[in-house]
Structure 1
Amino acid sequence: MKKLLTLLTLGALCGCMPQNAPSSLSLSPVGYDSLAGWKQEDFTSLMPLLRDECHRLSQLPPETVLGGSEAITYGRHAADWSNACAALATASDARTYLETWFQPYEAGTEAFYTGYFEPQIPASLTRGGAYQTPVYGRPRDLVRAKATNGQMVSGRWVNGQFAPYYDRAAIDGGALAGQGLEIAWLKSPVDLFFLQIQGSGRLILPDGGQVRVSYDGRNGQAYVPLGRLLVQDGELPADGVSMDSIRNWLEAHPDRMMSVMERNPNYVFFRRDDGNLAQGPKGAFGMPLTAGRSVAVDRSVVPFAMPLWVETKLPYGAGQPVTWDHLVFAQDIGTDIKGAGRADLFTGWGATAQSVAGNLHAHGRMVLFLPRPPADSAAQ
């Protein structure tokens, strides 16, 4: 599997995601004049992003299914984008191009937004000193197979029988030691835990160099939100769960942190990624993620490549959340991103990106930009 496992988000950490997010999509056409902040958008920065999307779409066979609900009548297949992408080649103004070739449709439900980022973590490529926590590559005996119910599951073969793969406690206990799977070493198992939640990260080496590691599979065990466990145990208040509060609790209880983290049996494996560090990691659509422009969606509801207009508020600093109205692109998926109106915003890397992603859990509006069929765009 080469897809990036996107952030399970604050909602997954605390188990506080909306439980009633509709799985079906209802669309209503709206005008561009109904989009708050549309005229103030940075259209100049959108042109290279649109061209990159079209380049990616051109690499796919025309019959490729991009995903999406059946409510989306045009835009679910790569071929549906051919005319819009051909027109982009001679377009000079992103606003005129979008208004000509795309029809906005309001998602028929209130949107809910969370965020994810690419963490920067001190690490070493060799074991020694403070660097004692291994980052494991994908084990050779980890395989995928079809269960009796038709679902694909992860596990391993044991004496001819398919069995669940080792859980977090077993791996922490040395189940994979001695196999040469270590691709780096971290200072803390808490760092590893949060790296696994994000699905990719930048390892900052002792000499100042950087190495990116990206998702390369997981053990197939269920994900159990740590925040929810700590609330149930009376260790954190229900309204006080965040990435920071969970990390602070773990680091303040070194005698209990391993046993608490091991109550989440899910375990993520990585590969070294030699991609351009000036860009974000690749998302599931196969494109480098762009801070503030890439989102993870439920692919069964929203297809890859779809432009989305987002109206919400972002938590910058300690002040009140700031109004945020921008065009983004569906370029990733997330284990816990399910249902209509759900999206996970990629915020980039660094301290600000971490802060925004860790505290973003906001409602808002979502508008899908469906490519117009050729006849409609000609009339427009």
Structure 2
Amino acid sequence: MLTLGALFLITGCTPKYASFEDVSKGNFKEADWNDLEGFEQDDLEHAFMVFKRGCEKAKRKAILKKACVQAQDYVSAKEFFQSNFTPYKLYDDHHSDEGLITGYYEPLLHGSRTKTDKYQYPIYKEPNDLVTVNLSAIYPELKRYRLRGKLVGNTLVPYASRGEIKESENMEAICYVDDKVDLFFLHIQGSGKVQLDTGEIINVGYANQNGRNYNSVGKYMISNGLLKEYGGSMQAMKRWFEDHPEETDRVLNVNESYVFFHENDQSATGSLGVPLVAKRNLAVDRKYIPLGVPVFIQTRNPLTKEDISQLMVAADTGGAIKGKIRADFFWGYGKEAEATAGRMKEAGKLFVLMPN
């Protein structure tokens, strides 16, 4: 027979979460503004600017339409956020409020418009035989999913994997770069810059993907003991590839996902469709965090170990960014950004600001 105390413990261990079924599958629990430690000390004016920039695209989304209109009428950033949003803390399915925060950056590669012995690794445009199917037209419940492949006769089959993709009449290169490992990390980051042998610097951004599942090469290397003497950072992976050139292709091809690019006039542009702002934009799993919403993050800098408590905007996605409490912190462009992003694997908490 259960005692009243035992019954309370059983029933009380499952918190009641707020539901946002139309826009998220996340577990949300309403928070008080005082729970956002560091909110008032943050540069909220900068965060407000980034939010308004995101409204160029986000205002098309029903959840943000009203807030984006209201943003034009406020002078005080703090007043705007607290008047138009309610903070909700994210929880996972085990009722923990702590998840994983990694970092990403905009890399600089070196290349040429012409393939040579030095510049031989192509940055491909989206191939003309890649077919992308939007399933929502037939299955509305699958609106967040895309089916990718190629037609063989009347049958849609999986597109070639990373290891299978070769130069052909279906492939056109934007340019060729001098390092296959740097190219691989460009695929992971989703956008970057290439300094050509003419001195010109061009921007390349995500255009599409081959439809294959993303498999973490880093996790593979760690689980197989390859990085035992190197460490677990991106920089450690690069050192291993430098020391084992004969194994590079085999290990990189563990990740069958392959990204195609387009050349554009502006720096890194996220999935929201606006240029990313260093240290103010996050890549998220859009199943749980809608693009365009403000997100208050509590984590720490992987190099200095200083706390990071600031308001950001969800503006990007990524093949490796999956989970209820999961985010990728955009550090910007350059060597410092690369050094920080490549080492970031920190615990963190996320408060999503949902429009009232």
Q: Normalization by structure 2: what TM-score?
A: 0.82
AA aligned to 2:299 is T
Tell me how far apart the structure 2 counterparts of residues 228 and 85 of structure 1 sit (CA, whole Å): 40
AA aligned to 1:322 is E
AA aligned to 2:275 is P
Question: Once the 2 structures are TM-superposed, how far is the Cα of residue 223 of structure 1 from its aligned partner?
Answer: 2.6
**Cα displacement string for residues 285-322 of structure 1 (whole angstroms, at most 9, x for unaligned residues):** 11211111111112121112111111110113xxx411
Tell me how far apart the structure 2 counterparts of residues 24 and 157 of structure 1 sit (CA, whole Å): 33
Tell me how far apart the structure 2 counterparts of residues 121 and 261 of structure 1 sit (CA, whole Å): 18
Counterpart for residue 122 of structure 1 = 110
Task: Map 1:13-52 to 2 at 5 A.
Answer: 24-52=25-53
Distance 1:326 1:138, change over 3 A: same
Matched, 1:284 2:271: yes
Counterpart for residue 306 of structure 1 = 293
Tell me how far apart the structure 2 counterparts of residues 255 and 87 of structure 1 sit (CA, whole Å): 57
Tell me how far apart the structure 2 counterparts of residues 245 and 123 of structure 1 sit (CA, whole Å): 24
AA aligned to 1:367 is F
Matched, 1:187 2:187: no
User: Alignment partner of 1:141: what SS?
Assistant: coil
Counterpart for residue 90 of structure 2 = 107
Q: What is the aligned-residue identity percentage?
A: 32
Partner residue of 1:293 out of 255, 280, 285: 280
Tell me how far apart the structure 1 counterparts of residues 76 and 115 of structure 2 sit (CA, whole Å): 53
Tell me how far apart the structure 1 counterparts of residues 282 and 57 of structure 2 sit (CA, whole Å): 16
Distance 1:101 1:114, change over 3 A: same
Question: Once the 2 structures are TM-superposed, how far is the Cα of residue 222 of structure 1 from its aligned partner?
Answer: 2.8
| Structure possessing the higher relative contact order (Cα contacts under 8 Å, 6 or more residues apart) | 1
Counterpart for residue 241 of structure 2 = 250
Farther-moved stretch of structure 1 (333-342 vs 146-155):
146-155
Tell me how far apart the structure 1 counterparts of residues 33 and 84 of structure 2 sit (CA, whole Å): 12
Counterpart for residue 169 of structure 1 = 163
Matched, 1:95 2:78: yes
AA aligned to 2:323 is G
Tell me how far apart the structure 1 counterparts of residues 158 and 326 of structure 2 sit (CA, whole Å): 30
Runs of 4+ residues deviating >4 angstroms: 145-152
Matched, 1:368 2:356: no
Tell me how far apart the structure 1 counterparts of residues 229 and 150 of structure 2 sit (CA, whole Å): 38
Tell me how far apart the structure 2 counterparts of residues 161 and 56 of structure 1 sit (CA, whole Å): 35
Question: Once the 2 structures are TM-superposed, how far is the Cα of residue 232 of structure 1 from its aligned partner?
Answer: 4.0
Matched, 1:196 2:187: yes
**Cα displacement string for residues 68-126 of structure 1 (whole angstroms, at most 9, x for unaligned residues):** xxxxxxxxx24x541x3333223211112222222222223223211111111111122
Tell me how far apart the structure 2 counterparts of residues 308 and 183 of structure 1 sit (CA, whole Å): 35
CA contact (8 A) 2:126 2:262 kept: yes
RMSD: 2.5
CA contact (8 A) 1:215 1:271 kept: yes
CA contact (8 A) 1:56 1:287 kept: yes
AA aligned to 1:357 is A
Question: Once the 2 structures are TM-superposed, how far is the Cα of residue 179 of structure 1 from its aligned partner?
Answer: 4.8
CA contact (8 A) 2:150 2:158 kept: yes
User: Alignment partner of 1:169: what SS?
Assistant: coil
Size of the alignment, in residue pairs?
322
CA contact (8 A) 1:24 1:339 kept: no
Unaligned runs of 5+ in 1: 1-22, 65-76, 373-380
Tell me how far apart the structure 1 counterparts of residues 295 and 229 of structure 2 sit (CA, whole Å): 32
Question: Once the 2 structures are TM-superposed, how far is the Cα of residue 41 of structure 1 from its aligned partner?
Answer: 0.9
Tell me how far apart the structure 2 counterparts of residues 299 and 136 of structure 1 sit (CA, whole Å): 26
User: Alignment partner of 1:191: what SS?
Assistant: helix
Counterpart for residue 232 of structure 2 = 241
Q: Normalization by structure 1: what TM-score?
A: 0.77
Tell me how far apart the structure 1 counterparts of residues 133 and 53 of structure 2 sit (CA, whole Å): 35
Distance 1:57 1:193, change over 3 A: closer
CA contact (8 A) 2:214 2:319 kept: no
**Cα displacement string for residues 230-252 of structure 1 (whole angstroms, at most 9, x for unaligned residues):** 23443222992221111111121
Question: Once the 2 structures are TM-superposed, how far is the Cα of residue 365 of structure 1 from its aligned partner?
Answer: 2.0
